[in-house]
């Protein structure tokens, strides 16, 4: 029987280090959020228009370089600063938060799995904000079970020919670079899928149905179609085919703190509005913020938001220190994503409640906070799937706790031992 685990072993504790660069980037993002994001948020939402002014300001401030390593033209600041920047932008408009963060999602397959030549080819322009990026994994019949995707990429001479359709491509049309996951070996179980880069304008590649969405309406989500799209074999991410699913999963582990940070920003943004309103709105001759039931809502909203923030920072910090492949990253990323996005939905719901009837009207941004929050629980892996991931890790890690078996009922211990003896017989 193993002894008790050392305190640092299973929980993946990490120091959260806020570098000067991280603070500087977050401060720039907060400035841009108030100057370029918040003022136009309602208009961009209503018209489903991309906020190019804000994107240009983000590019000019060098914020697209946050997630790009220094040697490829970025600041190499890391995942924690990326979370802080995303949170600051999303606080003003959750939709713009994802419009920014999706560039990291689309770039991670190249950063994690690309060759040096591929990184040199694509990342410098991404870091400068000259080229936007999208991530094409989901399909009509492959959502939570992304491994069931059906778009194919067939090697013909020196080119891959891509055929099929992707669903829900965020940034589609705006993006210049698309990380596309496709089947390159239908006969293989573990090496079936590869990732390839498709650039905007490649013949046969088109953006089709632009979705009419409930929230995050300032960023396009589209279908991307691949009608015999030919790309040079050098566009296959990495040195060999078959690594795509692994790269997709590593990418999602790296990107989930970004969605979670978007959720923290969204929650904080809704809380900010609720606080201002609660202090000014009077009923029964007093500000509604003086009523205990409203205070309970405000206190819970603030506490949950703060708890979500530190879970996200701790996860992001751990990735910066240990890399995407560090043990327990998947579990912690799933916890941060699941918890923070549930918090965003709860806080946005209570913010609407605090606004009363006005909260239900599209005249005020709090209704948009509510609409924008819902998607957070769905994309980049639904929260049901995140809970499955967390539970799977917990159950596996429980093997480290065998020293505690003497504290469970003896009959359960005996039955378990007998089962083990039977199954091993
Ligand atoms: C606005 C928007 C933007 C998006 N952006 C992108 C993008 O940029 N790139 C990209 O590749 N994808 C993107 N997606 C896709 C997104 O990641 C998927 O929608 C999500 O993973 C869920 O897949 P699905 O919609 O097919 O739902 P399904 O997988 O069909 O799930 C339906 C329901 O069943 C539940 N469920 C499924 N399997 C299980 C299970 N095993 N146990 C318990 N419950 C389960 C789910 O939790 C959910 O409640 C986007 C989606 C939306 C709506």
* Cβ neighbourhood burial of 52 (10 Å; 0-12, 13-18, 19+): exposed
Q: Which of 382, 385, 392 to mutate to test the pocket of ligand 1 (most atoms within 8 A of CB)?
A: 382
Residue 423: pLDDT above 70? no
Tell me the β-bridge partners of 93.
none
Q: Which helix (H) or strand (E) holds 179?
A: strand 177-183
388 Cα: distance to centroid of ligand 1 (angstroms): 14
Task: Give residue 422's pLDDT band: very low, low, confident or very high (50, 70, 90).
Answer: low
| CB 101 within 8 Å of CB 108 | no
Could you give the CA distance from residue 110 to residue 125 in angstroms, rounded to a whole number? Answer: 13
Could you give the CA distance from residue 92 to residue 344 in angstroms, rounded to a whole number? Answer: 14
Token pair of 9, please? 């072993």
Instruction: Return the pLDDT at 274.
Output: 98
Instruction: Return the pLDDT at 136.
Output: 98
Which of 119-123, 176-180, 236-240, 420-424 is least confident? 420-424
Answer with the one of 132, 163, 179 that is the final residue of a domain. Answer: 132
| CB 316 within 8 Å of CB 362 | no
* Count: domains in the chain: 3
Whether residues 127 and 40 share a domain: the answer is yes
Whether residues 112 and 32 share a domain: the answer is yes
Look up the domain containing 208 and give its range: 135-241
Q: How far is CA 184 from the centre of its chain?
A: 26
Would you say residue 351 lies in a domain? yes
Would you say residue 425 lies in a domain? no
Token pair of 266, please? 């969204």
Whether residues 108 and 210 share a domain: the answer is no
Task: Give residue 421's pLDDT band: very low, low, confident or very high (50, 70, 90).
Answer: low
Instruction: Return the pLDDT at 323.
Output: 75
| Index of the ligand 1 atom closest to the CA of residue 140 | 26
Would you say residue 27 lies in a domain? yes
| CB 142 within 8 Å of CB 148 | yes
**1-11, pLDDT tens digit by residue?**
444 444 444 44
Could you give the CA distance from residue 153 to residue 258 in angstroms, rounded to a whole number? Answer: 29
Instruction: Supply the residues annotated as catalytic.
Output: 380
Answer with the one of 87, 113, 132 that is the final residue of a domain. Answer: 132
Could you give the CA distance from residue 163 to residue 91 in angstroms, rounded to a whole number? Answer: 39
At what angle are helices 292-322 and 244-280 packed, to 10 degrees?
A: 150
Between the CA of residue 30 and those of 49, 93, 177, 294, 300, what are the distances in Å? 21, 11, 27, 28, 24
The verdict on the CB of residue 370 being under 6 Å from ligand 1 is no
| CB 288 within 8 Å of CB 278 | yes
Whether residues 85 and 108 share a domain: the answer is yes
- Higher pLDDT pick, 34 / 189: 34
Q: Which of 105, 106, 149, 168 to mutate to test the pocket of ligand 1 (most atoms within 8 A of CB)?
A: 168
Q: What is the CATH number of the domain that holds 75?
A: 1.10.540.10
Q: Which residue in 114, 119, 88 sits closest to 101, CA to CA?
A: 88
382 Cα: distance to centroid of ligand 1 (angstroms): 6
Whether residues 140 and 95 share a domain: the answer is no
Phi, psi angle pair for 255, to nearest 5°: -85, -25
Which own/partner contact pairs does 391-400 have at CB distance under 8 Å and 24+ positions apart? 393/328, 393/330, 393/331, 393/334, 394/331, 397/10, 400/2, 400/5, 400/9, 400/10
Strands 193-199 and 133-136: unpaired
Residue 20: pLDDT above 80? yes
The verdict on the CB of residue 168 being under 6 Å from ligand 1 is yes
The verdict on the CB of residue 147 being under 6 Å from ligand 1 is no
Instruction: Return the pLDDT at 31.
Output: 98
Would you say residue 6 lies in a domain? no
Q: CA 311, 313, 314, 320 torsion: positive or negative?
A: positive
The verdict on the CB of residue 137 being under 6 Å from ligand 1 is yes
pTM score of the predicted model: 0.95
Would you say residue 421 lies in a domain? no
Whether residues 393 and 250 share a domain: the answer is yes
415 Cα: distance to centroid of ligand 1 (angstroms): 40
Look at the block and give the residue holding tokens 């009419």.
212
Whether residues 213 and 319 share a domain: the answer is no
Whether residues 53 and 174 share a domain: the answer is no
**49-97, pLDDT tens digit by residue?**
999 999 999 999 999 999 999 999 999 999 999 999 999 999 999 999 9
Whether residues 180 and 262 share a domain: the answer is no
The verdict on the CB of residue 170 being under 6 Å from ligand 1 is yes
Residue 13: pLDDT above 70? no
| Index of the ligand 1 atom closest to the CA of residue 381 | 21
Could you give the CA distance from residue 360 to residue 362 in angstroms, rounded to a whole number? Answer: 7
180 Cα: distance to centroid of ligand 1 (angstroms): 17
The verdict on the CB of residue 221 being under 6 Å from ligand 1 is yes
- Higher pLDDT pick, 213 / 6: 213
157: left (phi over 0), alpha (psi -120 to 50) or beta: left
Would you say residue 12 lies in a domain? no
Residue 12: pLDDT above 60? no
The verdict on the CB of residue 135 being under 6 Å from ligand 1 is yes
Mean of the per-residue pLDDT values of the chain: 94
Q: Which residue in 139, 118, 232, 240 sits closest to 182, CA to CA?
A: 139
140 Cα: distance to centroid of ligand 1 (angstroms): 10
The verdict on the CB of residue 265 being under 6 Å from ligand 1 is no
Residue ID of nearest Cα to ligand 1 atom 48: 382
Whether residues 222 and 164 share a domain: the answer is yes
**278-317, pLDDT tens digit by residue?**
999 999 999 999 999 999 999 999 999 999 999 999 999 9
**241-276, pLDDT tens digit by residue?**
999 999 999 999 999 999 999 999 999 999 999 999
Q: Which of 95, 138, 259 to mutate to test the pocket of ligand 1 (most atoms within 8 A of CB)?
A: 138
Whether residues 228 and 281 share a domain: the answer is no
Instruction: Return the pLDDT at 322.
Output: 83
Q: What is the average pLDDT across 204-213?
A: 97
Could you give the CA distance from residue 65 to residue 121 in angstroms, rounded to a whole number? Answer: 15
Q: What is the CATH number of the domain that holds 384?
A: 1.20.140.10
The verdict on the CB of residue 414 being under 6 Å from ligand 1 is no
Instruction: Return the pLDDT at 328.
Output: 80
**102-143, pLDDT tens digit by residue?**
999 999 999 999 999 999 999 999 999 999 999 999 999 999
Instruction: Return the pLDDT at 4.
Output: 44
Could you give the CA distance from residue 106 to residue 119 in angstroms, rounded to a whole number? Answer: 13
Task: Give residue 14's pLDDT band: very low, low, confident or very high (50, 70, 90).
Answer: low
Residue 189: pLDDT above 70? yes
Whether residues 169 and 288 share a domain: the answer is no
322 Cα: distance to centroid of ligand 1 (angstroms): 28
The verdict on the CB of residue 251 being under 6 Å from ligand 1 is no
């Amino acid at each position: 029987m193993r002894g008790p685990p050392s305190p640092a072993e299973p929980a993946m504790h990490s120091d959260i280090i806020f570098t000067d660069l991280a603070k500087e980037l977050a401060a720039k993002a907060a400035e841009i959020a108030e100057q370029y994001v918040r003022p136009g948020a309602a208009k961009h939402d209503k018209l489903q228009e991309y906020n190019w002014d804000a994107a240009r300001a983000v590019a000019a401030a060098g914020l697209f370089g946050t997630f790009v390593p220094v040697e490829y033209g970025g600041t190499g600041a890391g995942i924690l600063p990326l979370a802080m920047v995303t949170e600051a932008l999303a606080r003003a408009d959750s939709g713009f938060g994802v419009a920014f963060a999706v560039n990291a999602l689309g770039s991670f397959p190249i950063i994690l799995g690309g060759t040096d030549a591929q990184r040199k080819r694509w990342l410098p322009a991404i870091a400068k904000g000259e080229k936007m990026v999208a991530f094409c994994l989901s399909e009509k019949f492959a959502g939570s079970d992304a491994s069931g995707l059906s778009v194919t990429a067939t090697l013909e001479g020196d080119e891959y020919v891509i055929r099929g359709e992707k669903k829900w491509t965020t940034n589609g049309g705006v993006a210049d670079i698309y990380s596309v996951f496709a089947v390159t070996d239908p006969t293989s179980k573990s090496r079936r899928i590869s990732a390839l880069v498709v650039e905007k304008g490649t013949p046969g590649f088109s953006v089709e149905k632009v979705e009419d969405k409930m929230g995050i309406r300032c960023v396009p989500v589209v279908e991307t179609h691949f009608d015999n799209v030919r790309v040079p074999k050098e566009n296959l991410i990495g040195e060999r085919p078959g690594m795509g699913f692994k790269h997709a999963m590593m990418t999602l582990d790296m990107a989930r703190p970004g969605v979670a940070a978007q959720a923290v920003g969204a929650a904080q943004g809704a809380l900010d509005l609720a606080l201002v309103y609660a202090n000014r709105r009077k009923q029964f001759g007093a500000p509604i913020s003086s009523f205990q039931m409203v205070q309970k809502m405000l206190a819970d909203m603030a506490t949950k938001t703060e708890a979500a923030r530190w879970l996200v920072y701790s996860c992001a910090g751990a990735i910066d220190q240990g890399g995407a492949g560090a043990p327990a990253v998947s579990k912690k990323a799933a916890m941060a994503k699941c918890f923070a996005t549930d918090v965003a939905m709860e806080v946005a719901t209570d913010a609407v409640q605090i606004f009363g009837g006005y909260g239900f009207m599209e005249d005020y941004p709090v209704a948009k906070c509510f609409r924008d929050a819902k998607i957070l629980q769905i994309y980049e892996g639904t929260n049901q799937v995140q809970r499955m991931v967390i539970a799977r890790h917990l159950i596996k890690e429980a093997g480290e706790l065998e020293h505690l078996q003497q504290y469970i009922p003896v009959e359960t211990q005996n039955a378990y031992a007998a089962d083990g003896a039977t199954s091993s017989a």
